[in-house]
Protein backbone atom coordinates (compact mmCIF):
# COMPACT_ATOMS: atom_id res chain seq x y z
CA UNK A 1 0.00 0.00 0.00
CA UNK A 2 1.27 3.49 -0.85
CA UNK A 3 2.33 5.69 2.02
CA UNK A 4 2.40 8.86 -0.06
CA UNK A 5 -0.13 11.28 -1.53
CA UNK A 6 2.39 11.99 -4.32
CA UNK A 7 0.80 10.88 -7.57
CA UNK A 8 2.34 12.77 -10.47
CA UNK A 9 0.36 13.77 -13.53
CA UNK A 10 1.43 11.84 -16.63
CA UNK A 11 3.44 13.79 -19.21
CA UNK A 12 0.97 13.19 -22.04
CA UNK A 13 -1.57 15.48 -20.35
CA UNK A 14 0.83 18.42 -20.46
CA UNK A 15 1.80 17.58 -24.04
CA UNK A 16 -1.89 17.77 -25.03
CA UNK A 17 -2.57 20.96 -23.04
CA UNK A 18 0.33 22.78 -24.71
CA UNK A 19 0.52 25.46 -22.02
CA UNK A 20 3.26 26.80 -19.78
CA UNK A 21 2.06 27.40 -16.24
CA UNK A 22 3.41 30.14 -14.05
CA UNK A 23 3.02 28.05 -10.92
CA UNK A 24 2.51 24.45 -9.79
CA UNK A 25 0.82 24.99 -6.43
CA UNK A 26 1.09 21.43 -5.02
CA UNK A 27 4.32 19.98 -6.38
CA UNK A 28 6.66 17.40 -4.90
CA UNK A 29 9.79 18.85 -3.28
CA UNK A 30 11.86 18.98 -6.47
CA UNK A 31 8.96 19.54 -8.86
CA UNK A 32 8.12 17.21 -11.72
CA UNK A 33 10.63 17.35 -14.59
CA UNK A 34 8.00 17.13 -17.35
CA UNK A 35 5.59 19.64 -15.80
CA UNK A 36 5.86 22.96 -17.68
CA UNK A 37 5.75 25.42 -14.77
CA UNK A 38 8.11 28.31 -14.09
CA UNK A 39 7.79 27.94 -10.32
CA UNK A 40 6.43 25.38 -7.87
CA UNK A 41 5.35 25.17 -4.24
CA UNK A 42 6.05 21.94 -2.38
CA UNK A 43 4.78 20.73 0.97
CA UNK A 44 7.69 22.63 2.55
CA UNK A 45 6.37 25.87 1.03
CA UNK A 46 2.73 25.19 2.02
CA UNK A 47 1.10 26.16 -1.25
CA UNK A 48 -2.17 26.98 0.50
CA UNK A 49 -0.44 29.66 2.60
CA UNK A 50 1.27 31.27 -0.42
CA UNK A 51 0.04 33.91 -2.83
CA UNK A 52 -0.71 32.36 -6.20
CA UNK A 53 0.17 34.24 -9.36
CA UNK A 54 -0.48 33.81 -13.05
CA UNK A 55 -1.72 30.59 -14.60
CA UNK A 56 -1.64 27.79 -12.04
CA UNK A 57 -1.49 24.03 -12.33
CA UNK A 58 -3.09 22.17 -9.44
CA UNK A 59 -3.02 18.44 -8.74
CA UNK A 60 -3.63 18.68 -4.98
CA UNK A 61 -3.41 16.01 -2.30
CA UNK A 62 -6.57 13.94 -2.79
CA UNK A 63 -6.67 13.17 0.93
CA UNK A 64 -7.89 16.74 1.56
CA UNK A 65 -8.73 18.71 -1.61
CA UNK A 66 -11.42 21.07 -0.27
CA UNK A 67 -9.20 24.03 0.69
CA UNK A 68 -7.21 23.60 -2.51
CA UNK A 69 -10.32 23.65 -4.70
CA UNK A 70 -11.67 26.72 -2.90
CA UNK A 71 -8.40 28.63 -3.41
CA UNK A 72 -8.19 27.49 -7.05
CA UNK A 73 -11.68 28.81 -7.78
CA UNK A 74 -10.95 32.07 -5.99
CA UNK A 75 -7.71 32.48 -8.00
CA UNK A 76 -9.71 32.11 -11.27
CA UNK A 77 -6.78 31.32 -13.56
CA UNK A 78 -5.59 27.77 -14.13
CA UNK A 79 -6.19 24.08 -14.69
CA UNK A 80 -6.76 21.50 -11.96
CA UNK A 81 -6.66 17.71 -12.03
CA UNK A 82 -9.10 16.24 -9.52
CA UNK A 83 -10.92 13.00 -8.71
CA UNK A 84 -14.68 12.66 -9.11
CA UNK A 85 -15.96 12.60 -5.50
CA UNK A 86 -19.22 12.92 -3.66
CA UNK A 87 -18.42 16.14 -1.82
CA UNK A 88 -19.33 19.81 -1.51
CA UNK A 89 -16.15 20.90 -3.28
CA UNK A 90 -17.06 18.76 -6.30
CA UNK A 91 -20.45 20.45 -6.53
CA UNK A 92 -18.75 23.84 -6.34
CA UNK A 93 -16.17 23.13 -9.05
CA UNK A 94 -18.81 21.54 -11.28
CA UNK A 95 -20.86 24.73 -11.05
CA UNK A 96 -18.02 27.28 -11.28
CA UNK A 97 -15.41 25.80 -13.64
CA UNK A 98 -15.50 27.17 -17.17
CA UNK A 99 -14.64 23.79 -18.68
CA UNK A 100 -14.44 20.22 -17.37
CA UNK A 101 -12.97 17.25 -19.23
CA UNK A 102 -13.20 13.69 -17.88
CA UNK A 103 -9.93 11.80 -18.22
CA UNK A 104 -9.66 8.21 -19.48
CA UNK A 105 -10.98 5.68 -16.98
CA UNK A 106 -7.67 3.78 -17.20
CA UNK A 107 -5.56 6.87 -16.37
CA UNK A 108 -2.30 5.97 -14.66
CA UNK A 109 -0.29 8.36 -12.55
CA UNK A 110 3.40 8.17 -11.77
CA UNK A 111 3.60 7.32 -8.08
CA UNK A 112 6.61 8.44 -6.04
CA UNK A 113 7.17 4.98 -4.56
CA UNK A 114 5.37 2.50 -6.78
CA UNK A 115 5.79 3.60 -10.41
CA UNK A 116 2.93 3.96 -12.90
CA UNK A 117 -0.43 3.06 -11.39
CA UNK A 118 -4.15 3.95 -11.39
CA UNK A 119 -5.89 5.52 -8.41
CA UNK A 120 -9.20 4.73 -6.70
CA UNK A 121 -11.36 7.14 -8.69
CA UNK A 122 -11.85 8.47 -12.20
CA UNK A 123 -10.43 11.98 -12.64
CA UNK A 124 -11.11 15.14 -14.59
CA UNK A 125 -9.47 18.39 -15.61
CA UNK A 126 -11.19 21.67 -14.74
CA UNK A 127 -10.27 25.13 -15.97
CA UNK A 128 -10.95 28.68 -14.92
CA UNK A 129 -9.76 31.77 -16.75
CA UNK A 130 -9.75 32.58 -20.46
CA UNK A 131 -6.42 31.14 -21.65
CA UNK A 132 -6.47 27.94 -19.57
CA UNK A 133 -10.01 27.25 -20.78
CA UNK A 134 -9.06 27.83 -24.43
CA UNK A 135 -6.11 25.44 -24.07
CA UNK A 136 -8.18 22.78 -22.33
CA UNK A 137 -10.82 22.95 -25.06
CA UNK A 138 -8.16 22.77 -27.80
CA UNK A 139 -6.35 19.84 -26.15
CA UNK A 140 -8.67 17.13 -27.52
CA UNK A 141 -8.11 15.18 -24.30
CA UNK A 142 -11.82 14.45 -24.10
CA UNK A 143 -15.35 15.80 -24.39
CA UNK A 144 -15.66 19.22 -22.76
CA UNK A 145 -18.49 20.21 -20.47
Q: Sorting pLDDT into bands at 50, 70 and 90, what band is 118?
A: confident
**Which of the residue ranges 14-18, 29-33, 101-105 would you say has the lowest mean pLDDT?**
29-33
Angle between helices 88-96 and 66-75 (to 10 degrees): 20
Taking residues 111-131, report their average pLDDT. Answer: 85
Least confident range of 24-38, 58-72, 74-88, 110-124: 110-124
Domains of the chain (ranges; CATH) run 7-138 (3.40.50)
Starting from the edge strand earliest in sequence, which strands make up the sheet with 56-58, in order? 37-40, 21-24, 56-58, 78-83, 123-128, 99-102
User: Does 1 score more than 50 pLDDT?
Assistant: no
Q: List, for residues 67-86, the tens digit of each pLDDT value.
A: 999 999 999 999 999 999 99
Question: Are 10 and 103 within 8 A, CB to CB?
Answer: no
**Does residue 135 contact residue 14 with C-beta atoms inside 8 Å?**
no
Amino acid sequence: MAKSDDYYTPKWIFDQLDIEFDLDVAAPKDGVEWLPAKQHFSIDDDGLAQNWNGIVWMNPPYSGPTLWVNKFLEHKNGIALLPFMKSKWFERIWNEAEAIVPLPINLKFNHAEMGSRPIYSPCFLASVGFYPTVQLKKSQIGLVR
